[in-house]
Amino acid sequence: MVEENDEIADESVNNFTTLLGWALLAFLAYKFLPTLAEIGMGFVAKIIGAVIVLWILGNSIVIIPQYERGVVLRFGKLHKVLDPGLNFIIPGVDYVVKIDMRTRTIDIKPEDIMSKDNIPLTIDGIAYFRVTHPDKYFVNLREGEYAIGKYCEALLRDEIGTRNLDDILQHRELITDNVETKVNKKLKEWGVKLEDLKIQKIEIPNSLVEAISKQAEAEREKRAIILKAEGEEIAAKKIAEASQLLEKSRAAFQLRVLQTIQELGKQESNKWIILLPTEIAEAIRSLKTGKNQ
Decide if 254 is inside a domain. Answer: no
pLDDT tens figures, 148-160: 999 999 999 888 8
CA–CA distance, 104 with 86 (Å, rounded to integer): 25
> Do 64 and 134 meet the contact criterion of CB atoms below 8 Å apart?
no
Given this model, what pLDDT does residue 102 score? 92
* Same domain flag for 31 and 69: yes
Decide if 158 is inside a domain. Answer: yes
* Same domain flag for 200 and 176: yes
Mean pLDDT taken over the chain: 77
With b for 16 or more beta-carbon neighbours within 10 A and e for fewer, the 139-156 pattern comes to bebeebbebbbebbbebb
Given this model, what pLDDT does residue 9 score? 43
> Do 59 and 91 meet the contact criterion of CB atoms below 8 Å apart?
yes
* Same domain flag for 238 and 280: no
Decide if 140 is inside a domain. Answer: yes
> Which one of 84, 99, 114 terminates a domain?
99
* Same domain flag for 85 and 111: no
Domain containing 238 equals: 206-248
Query: Could you tell me the CATH number of the domain that includes residue 128?
Result: 3.30.479.30
* Same domain flag for 119 and 153: yes
pLDDT tens figures, 101-149: 999 999 888 888 888 888 888 888 899 999 999 999 998 888 888 989 9
> Do 178 and 166 meet the contact criterion of CB atoms below 8 Å apart?
no
* Same domain flag for 197 and 117: yes
Cα 183 → chain centroid: 13
Q: What is the dihedral of CA 172, 173, 178, 181, to 10 degrees?
A: 140
Q: Most distant CA pair in the chain: distance in Å?
A: 158
* Same domain flag for 211 and 274: no
Number of neighbouring beta carbons within 10 Å of residue 235: 10
Please give the C-alpha separations between residue 177 and each of 105, 183, 189, 199, 284, in angstroms, as whole numbers.
17, 10, 19, 11, 77
* pTM of the model as a whole: 0.58
* Same domain flag for 19 and 90: yes
Number of neighbouring beta carbons within 10 Å of residue 98: 19
Please give the tally of structural domains in the chain: 4
pLDDT above 60: residue 8: no
pLDDT tens figures, 69-90: 999 998 888 889 999 998 888 8
Decide if 253 is inside a domain. Answer: no
> Which one of 76, 99, 122 terminates a domain?
99
* Same domain flag for 150 and 86: no
* Same domain flag for 80 and 170: no
Once rounded to an integer, what is the mean pLDDT over residues 215-241? 81
Alpha helix ranges (H) inside 142-205: 144-160, 165-170, 172-187
Given this model, what pLDDT does residue 2 score? 41
Number of neighbouring beta carbons within 10 Å of residue 229: 10
> Which one of 31, 66, 99 terminates a domain?
99
pLDDT above 50: residue 6: no
Given this model, what pLDDT does residue 55 score? 76
* Same domain flag for 162 and 112: yes
Given this model, what pLDDT does residue 131 score? 93
Number of neighbouring beta carbons within 10 Å of residue 91: 17
Q: What sign results for the dihedral spanned by CA atoms 188, 192, 197, 200?
A: negative
Confidence of residue 30 (pLDDT cuts 50, 70, 90): low
pLDDT above 70: residue 42: no
pLDDT tens figures, 214-227: 777 777 788 888 88
DSSP 82-112: EPSEEEE--TTTEEEEEEE-S-EEEEEEEEE
Please give the C-alpha separations between residue 207 and each of 42, 119, 149, 292, in angstroms, as whole numbers.
90, 11, 31, 68
Query: What percent of the chain has pLDDT above 70?
Result: 68
Given this model, what pLDDT does residue 10 score? 46
* Same domain flag for 133 and 61: no
